[in-house]
Amino acid sequence: MTDRKVRANLALTIDGRYNGPGGDFGAFIPYVTTDVARDHMTNSWEGATTAVLGRLNAEGFLGFWPTVADNPDADPRDRGYAKWLVNADKVVLSTMLTDAPWERTRLVNAPAADVITELKATGTGDILVNSSSSIIKPLLAADLIDQLHLLICPEIAGDGQRLFDDGLPSAKWNLTRQQTGDLGEIALIYTRLR
């Protein structure tokens, strides 16, 4: 077993939802491009060598981030993340894809906990599960996340999907970083105490 850590990054409303009614992401739009959010994203990927994504995020990210990597008008933090994502080893969990949507990408049709356990046993550098709730939720249930990078947006969605379902194993976390933005967004990093 290596000392690789698993980081999970996700934006949430203050009522704990990662999307709103009907899968809407409108509650997050004003906050994800703030200085606090961009610094938070940088903290989530620095030191990581592997990106783990669900199919929907992999396909969506493919249409956006590669164009940012070489865009001189983009925020340098966005370019940094884009370059990291393009160059990182990527593992995409999917039951539907047959061809990898990116270079340096491996498609896997297996339970998230099994995939992460295998990744932790090999390689170097941390593993970032970025904005893929379909992967983060089963990893929380299996107690395989070492750091939670959460951007809390000061809105109540009122409906939508929650990150923390009932029945998760109890766990103790230490707040290792906190930053508040001008719009009321709060970037938090929690480290699992083991």
CA atoms within a 13 Å half-sphere pointing along the CA-CB vector of 113: 8
Residues near 142 by beta carbon (within 8 Å), at least 6 away in sequence: 112, 113, 116
Query: What's the rounded mean pLDDT across residues 184-192?
Result: 98
Left if phi > 0, otherwise alpha if psi is -120 to 50, otherwise beta: which for 89? beta
pLDDT(1) > 70:
no
What is the pTM assigned to this prediction? 0.93
Query: What are the tens digits of pLDDT across the range 102-129?
Result: 788 999 999 999 999 999 999 899 999 9
Residue 94 backbone phi and psi in degrees, to 5: -155, 145
Question: If we measure between CA atoms, which residue out of 35, 43, 17, 26 comes closest to residue 191?
Answer: 43
Q: Which residue has 């990116």 as its token pair? A: 102
Could you tell me what percent of the chain has a pLDDT over 90? 81
Domains of the chain: 6-192 (3.40.430.10)
- For 141-166, how does the pLDDT look when each residue is reduced to its tens digit (9 = 90+)? 999 999 999 999 999 999 999 999 89
